């Protein structure tokens, strides 16, 4: 068993795992890395995959994302045994009796023709709701997991209706189990928005600010706000969540979608008694969208907040170590995987760790912090791209005019070479 170490740092009424401040601070400027040139090293030491997030020490940055892979004691225990850095349990609420799932509730998109049974799976849609298990059972399982794995990080994902007392009760009950942190589901795109839950809160900044106020006044452990991509500017709710006391942002949840229509039956998929409903889109196809959203959030956090006090968890289409590296290069501290586990199993973490190590060895990076956020400075506006390209063209033309060094003089072209360096 890999041992984790973490310590609690008191902060106001919250036993926070970071020296957290509610006010915004100017973020320290990160040094700009010019490409990925590295110096040769004779060291044979393996790269260190461990990360510190809001004071937690994790053996690697890979986290089980909230969903089916964290739906009960058995599967969460399996995740810990396989070596995942942390587990975020499937979202719970006070009254699981309201949660009734249907089957089938998944649909897959393959590369190729509509309805093809062949080809790589590139998209995955689910219309699955939050946990349908009684809260009391889930709480007992949280408590049991923390007893058996006291040095592992277990986060509770929570979601409630627009009711202060309900949020406060839910927070109190999950914290009593000994969980390490809370991820707040402001982002589920289906099943609950009509009850002012999930995405309905994440899309309404006024409501989100109020609910975050309730949550952060009550919580005594670190809180991550999970953002919906189904919004024009994802930085707006992320900014409010951090400003009202959340220690971290997780992004993105699934994208609202209709997976497809059967060309045989003319019915939408997944088909439940011939009918369907829009669901949440995940898997490889959403990865570029997730990268863009995480990049925007990371830029906002870098410019408006003190980075050491906050964390960013990247989510979306992670199946390889390279997929995860991209999130980290954009500033993510951790990377969550949910659909990837559903497709490849819990052992996927070993592949992710191995491929992450290979990347780090290639560039001589010793720790995650050596390259976290390294690609972020290379994003700019289109106007700035035009300016940079025009300047580069001018410089190239200037280089071509005249000689750069004494070694470039030739006997045959001596007169022309001289003329090339005359100013008038």
As annotated, the active-site residues are: 188
Query: What span, in angstroms and rounded, lies between the C-alpha atoms of 393 and 387?
Result: 10
Query: What span, in angstroms and rounded, lies between the C-alpha atoms of 17 and 9?
Result: 6
Angle value at C-alpha 135, between 213 and 181, nearest 5 degrees: 45
SS3 269: strand
Peptide bond connecting 104 to the previous residue in cis, omega within 30 degrees of 0: yes
Q: Residue 86 burial (CB < 10 Å; 0-12/13-18/19+)?
A: buried
Place of tokens 């009850």: 195
Q: Residue 62 burial (CB < 10 Å; 0-12/13-18/19+)?
A: buried
- Please state, as a whole number, how many other Cβ atoms lie within 10 Å of the Cβ of residue 178: 14
**Looking at residue 32, what DSSP letter applies?**
P
DSSP assignments along 215-230, one per residue: HHHH--S-EEEEPPSS
Query: What span, in angstroms and rounded, lies between the C-alpha atoms of 368 and 15?
Result: 26
Strands 255-257 and 121-126: unpaired
Distance of CA 164 to the CA centre of its chain: 27
Distance of CA 21 to the CA centre of its chain: 22
Q: Specify whether the CB–CB gap between 291 and 375 falls below 8 A.
A: no
Place of tokens 């996927």: 348
Query: What span, in angstroms and rounded, lies between the C-alpha atoms of 111 and 101?
Result: 28
Distance of CA 377 to the CA centre of its chain: 19
DSSP assignments along 299-339, one per residue: HHHHHHS-GGG-EEEEESS--SHHHHHHHHHTT-SEEEESH
Report the length, in residues, of the chain: 424
Q: Look up residue 257 and give its two tokens.
A: 């979608």
């Amino acid at each position: 068993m890999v041992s984790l170490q973490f310590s609690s740092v008191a902060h106001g009424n919250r036993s926070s795992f970071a020296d957290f401040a509610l006010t915004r601070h100017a973020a320290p400027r990160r040094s700009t890395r010019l490409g990925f040139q590295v110096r040769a090293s004779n060291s044979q030491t393996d790269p260190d995959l461990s990360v510190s997030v809001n004071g937690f020490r994790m053996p690697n940055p890979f986290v089980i994302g909230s969903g089916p892979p964290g739906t009960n004691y058995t599967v969460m225990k399996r995740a810990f045994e396989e070596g995942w850095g942390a587990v975020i349990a499937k979202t719970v609420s006070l009254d699981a009796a309201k949660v009734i799932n249907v089957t089938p509730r998944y649909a897959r998109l393959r590369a190729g023709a509509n309805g093809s049974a062949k080809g790589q799976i590139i998209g995955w849609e689910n219309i699955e709701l939050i946990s349908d298990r009684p809260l009391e059972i889930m709480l007992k399982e949280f408590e049991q997991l923390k007893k058996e794995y006291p040095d592992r990080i277990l986060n509770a994902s929570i979601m409630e209706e627009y009711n202060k007392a309900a949020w406060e009760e839910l927070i109190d009950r999950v914290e009593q189990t000994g969980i390490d942190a809370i991820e707040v589901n402001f982002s589920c795109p289906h099943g609950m928005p009509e009850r002012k839950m999930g995405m309905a809160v994440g899309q309404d900044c006024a409501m989100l600010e109020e609910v975050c106020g309730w949550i952060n006044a009550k919580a005594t452990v670190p809180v991550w706000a999970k953002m919906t991509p189904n919004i024009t500017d994802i930085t707006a709710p992320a900014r409010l969540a951090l400003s009202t006391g959340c220690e971290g942002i997780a992004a993105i949840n699934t994208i609202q979608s209709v997976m497809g229509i059967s060309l045989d039956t003319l019915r939408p998929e997944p088909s439940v008694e011939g009918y369907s409903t829009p669901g949440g889109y995940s898997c490889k196809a959403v990865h570029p969208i997730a990268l863009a959203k995480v990049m925007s959030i990371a830029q906002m956090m870098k410019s408006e907040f003190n980075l050491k006090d906050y964390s960013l968890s990247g989510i979306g289409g992670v199946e390889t170590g390279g997929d995860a590296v991209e999130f980290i290069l954009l500033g993510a501290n951790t990377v969550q995987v949910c659909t990837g586990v559903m497709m490849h199993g819990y052992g996927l973490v070993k592949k992710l760790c191995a491929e992450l190590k290979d990347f780090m060895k290639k560039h001589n990076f010793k720790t995650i912090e050596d390259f976290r956020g390294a690609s972020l400075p290379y994003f700019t506006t289109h106007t700035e791209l035009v300016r940079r390209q025009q300047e580069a063209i001018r410089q190239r033309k200037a280089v071509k005019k005249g000689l750069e060094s004494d070694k470039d003089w030739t006997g045959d072209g001596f007169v022309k070479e001289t003329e090339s360096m005359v100013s008038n």
